[in-house]
């Protein structure tokens, strides 16, 4: 042990991110209950909407095709919500102080959780699509359209996860983070995910039309099922870009503020 300045150079931002992404992925894999839910939930929701609600909503029997994009986003919402709890757990545990006294950009710990959320939710999306194909989902998208749809899904997951990360940073405890997180989970129900907007009362249509989920759902539907996409693609992209920007700024501010308080 040498009582002089340590000769080690701080790791690069990329190396730091890689370490934190690996950490969050490992933690995700070891949190068995949460991982199991991330896989069972999509299956249950897919079956619930197709067989329980499907008959009433679309007596013609084509509800699986209509509802798949909605279920994908709904599941992504549940999966991303875990991020709020994970981030809050790190912030209330002594480990964040250790990271913050190391010569690294400690906000990277949040980046790690976001990357893990993306991975978890893509698995869940795969499960949804698999089950959907079994219960009557018949997409007709080309390879390029599938890639584009996947891009939209990734964008949505990232947007939501960064918002949840910010919630995790401002929440006082992991259970509070979990509670606040529920608010965002209602958004898919107030969109064209499960029923066409035209069937809603007038006052609700405005809300349903002017929120980020509807254009994203319509874009995915268009890409996979050939319905008209129209302006939805860029409206959805603008929503996501705007929300990610807000979430990032919010995360940065919340992280610094939280730091000063402790």
Q: Which residues bind another protein (CB under 8 A)?
A: 1-6, 8-11, 15-16, 19, 22-23, 26-27, 30-31, 93-95, 97-104, 259-260, 262
Minimum Å distance from CB 168 to another protein? 17
Half-sphere exposure of 175 (CA within 13 A, CB side): 0
DSSP codes joined into one string, 151-205: HHHHHHHHHHHHHHHHHHHHSSSHHHHHHHHHHHHTGGGGTTTTS-GGGS-HHHH
> Diameter of the chain by CA atoms?
77
CA–CA gap between residue 184 and residue 42 (Å, rounded): 17
Task: Please work out, in degrees rounded to the nearest 5, the angle formed at the alpha carbon of residue 188 by the alpha carbons of 139 and 171.
Answer: 135
In the numeric block, the tokens 């308080």 are attached to: 261
Minimum Å distance from CB 36 to another protein? 15
Minimum Å distance from CB 182 to another protein? 25
Instruction: Decide whether 5 or 183 has the Cβ nearer to another protein.
Output: 5
Minimum Å distance from CB 117 to another protein? 16
Minimum Å distance from CB 179 to another protein? 23
Instruction: Decide whether 89 or 227 has the Cβ nearer to another protein.
Output: 89
Minimum Å distance from CB 172 to another protein? 16
Instruction: Decide whether 28 or 192 has the Cβ nearer to another protein.
Output: 28
Instruction: Decide whether 98 or 138 has the Cβ nearer to another protein.
Output: 98
Instruction: Decide whether 200 or 259 has the Cβ nearer to another protein.
Output: 259
Please answer whether residues 87 and 166 qualify as being in contact, where contact means their C-beta atoms are separated by less than 8 angstroms. Answer: no
Instruction: Decide whether 23 or 209 has the Cβ nearer to another protein.
Output: 23
Q: Which value, in Å, is the radius of gyration of the alpha carbons in the chain?
A: 20
CA–CA gap between residue 262 and residue 255 (Å, rounded): 11
């Amino acid at each position: 042990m040498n009582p002089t300045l340590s000769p080690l150079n701080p790791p690069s931002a990329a190396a730091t991110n890689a370490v934190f992404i690996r950490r969050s992925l490992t933690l995700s894999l070891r949190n068995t209950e949460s991982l199991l839910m991330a896989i069972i939930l999509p299956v249950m929701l897919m079956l619930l909407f197709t067989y329980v609600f499907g008959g009433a909503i679309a007596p013609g029997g084509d509800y699986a095709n209509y509802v798949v994009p909605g279920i994908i986003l709904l599941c992504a919402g549940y999966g991303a919500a875990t991020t709020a709890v994970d981030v809050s757990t790190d912030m209330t545990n002594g480990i964040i102080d250790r990271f913050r006294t190391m010569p690294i950009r400690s906000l990277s710990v949040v980046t790690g959780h976001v990357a893990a959320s993306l991975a978890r939710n893509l698995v869940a999306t795969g499960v949804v699509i698999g089950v959907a194909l079994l219960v009557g989902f018949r997409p007709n998208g080309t390879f390029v359209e599938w890639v584009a749809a996947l891009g939209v899904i990734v964008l949505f997951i990232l947007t939501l996860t960064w918002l949840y990360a910010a919630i995790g940073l401002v929440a006082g405890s992991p259970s509070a983070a979990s509670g606040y997180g529920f608010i965002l989970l209602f958004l898919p129900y107030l969109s064209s995910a499960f029923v066409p907007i035209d069937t809603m009362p007038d006052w609700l249509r405005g809300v349903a039309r002017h929120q980020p989920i509807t254009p994203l759902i319509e874009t995915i539907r268009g890409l996979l099922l050939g319905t008209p996409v129209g302006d939805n693609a860029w409206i959805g992209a603008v929503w996501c870009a705007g929300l990610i920007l807000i979430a990032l700024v919010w995360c940065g501010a919340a992280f610094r503020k939280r730091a000063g308080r402790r």
